[in-house]
Copies of this chain bind each other. A is one copy, B any other.
Amino acid sequence: MKENLPQDLHYSEKQVAILLATEQLIAEKGYSASSVRDIAQAAGVNVAMISYYFGSKEKLLEALFVYRIDSSRVVLQALLENTVLNPFEKLEILVTSYVDKLINNFAFYQIMNREPAIKEIKNISKIVNATKQRNQGMIRQLIDEGQSKNFFKNTVDVSLLMHTMMGTLMSVCNNADYLKIIYQSEHLSEEEFGNMMRERLKVHLFQMMKAALTQPIT
């Protein structure tokens, strides 16, 4: 299960540098608009090293996905199995966890959520779909538990709920520049603003989901 480790120990320092440069550049410009030359330069390595290490540009992206995909299973799996916390507490932790994960790895999530290339690379599609399925399943399980314990009403479409959470996060992060103006936060540093948004998002999403899960049937 090497591919699930956040950091593959087989990668040398240079290889990691390439992967990080890849992530950043593709997140910024897209896969097709990022040339291997640009990536190599950003990583401070020779152009030929990319083919040499990863085989091809496509396989480089593949390696990035293997490298990045899911550092979270452990956390969430533990959350599900926890018997002390009540469903509301679990929901809050879930939301917090997703907000942090997405903001901390925004570059990668951008690639995963909007890069058309990944649909045409089978190995990546496989990984991505498996991850989505797993995440979807865990959320469903958590909500099922809340519903069976009568904490949550069962009028919400759980499948859509996950998209509400992820979609909100993506949309907000994608429009961070714009929101910075809206919130009149131009004076904040990137980090300060990021932290502010992080908190706002946690509150907002927990509030939204809680409301949706507990609202009286109309």
Interface window among A3-11, A73-81, A161-169: A161-169
What's the nearest-Cβ distance from chain B to residue A53, in Å?
16
Which DSSP category, helix, strand, loop or mixed, fits chain A's interface? helix
Complex: A204 Cα to B167 Cα, angstroms: 14
Complex: A132 Cα to B212 Cα, angstroms: 26
Residues of B within 8 A of A174 (CB): 113-114
Number of copies: 4
Residues of B within 8 A of A201 (CB): 160
Known: A159-B182, A167-B168. A116 touches B200 (CB 8 A): no
Q: Are B155 and A207 in contact (CB under 8 A)?
A: yes
Residues of B within 8 A of A31 (CB): 30, 32-33
Q: Are A164 and B159 in contact (CB under 8 A)?
A: no
